[in-house]
Amino acid sequence: MPDNQTAIADTSVLIAFEKLGKLDLLCLTYDEIFLPDAVCQEYASDLQPCFILKAAPESITHFLVNHTGLGRGESESISLAHSTGIRVLIDDLKARKIALDLGCHVTGTIGVLYKMEQKNIIHNAYNHVIKLKAS
């Protein structure tokens, strides 16, 4: 598996970290975060230095969009993760299940918060989860 300091992000995780005011901390957690084209279009907000635009394979993306009911951003994120073996950061349960079924390595917002706590980037992941649920 490629370096665990690289990840692919879906829009849902970016929005969650933006709500927490912790978007910048993603670059302390991962050296590079690949954003598929559709995710960049969906999330045109605060792009961080570690965010890198990366094209997803169209054949897998097309299949996921047309046969699973997933959105374009989720489909491109999963397609890119499937083709590269890089962990995908995604929160939608249906999308996570499909990604896992395809053999992708999956983490969501809570998993990233836990990783941040383990790396001493934040002090209490649980408090951030509670704050997110309240927003």
Domains of the chain, start order: 6-134 (3.40.50.1010)
Q: What pLDDT, on the 0 to 100 scale, is given for residue 93? A: 97
115 burial via Cβ count (<10 Å: 0-12, 13-18, 19+): middle
The residues near 135 (Cβ < 8 Å, ≥ 6 apart) are: 19
Q: What pLDDT, on the 0 to 100 scale, is given for residue 4? A: 53
**pTM listed for this prediction:** 0.93
Q: What pLDDT, on the 0 to 100 scale, is given for residue 44? A: 78
Burial 6-45 (b: 16+ CB within 10 A, else e): bbbbbbbbbbbbeebebbebbeebbebbbbbbbbbebbee
Tokens of 57: 């394979």
Written as tens digits, the pLDDT of the chain (135 aa) is 444 599 999 999 999 999 999 999 999 999 999 999 999 999 978 789 999 999 999 999 999 999 999 999 999 999 999 999 999 999 999 999 999 999 999 999 999 999 999 999 999 999 999 999 998
DSSP letter (8 states) at residue 122: S
Q: What is the pLDDT of residues 38-73, one digit of tens each?
A: 999 999 787 899 999 999 999 999 999 999 999 999
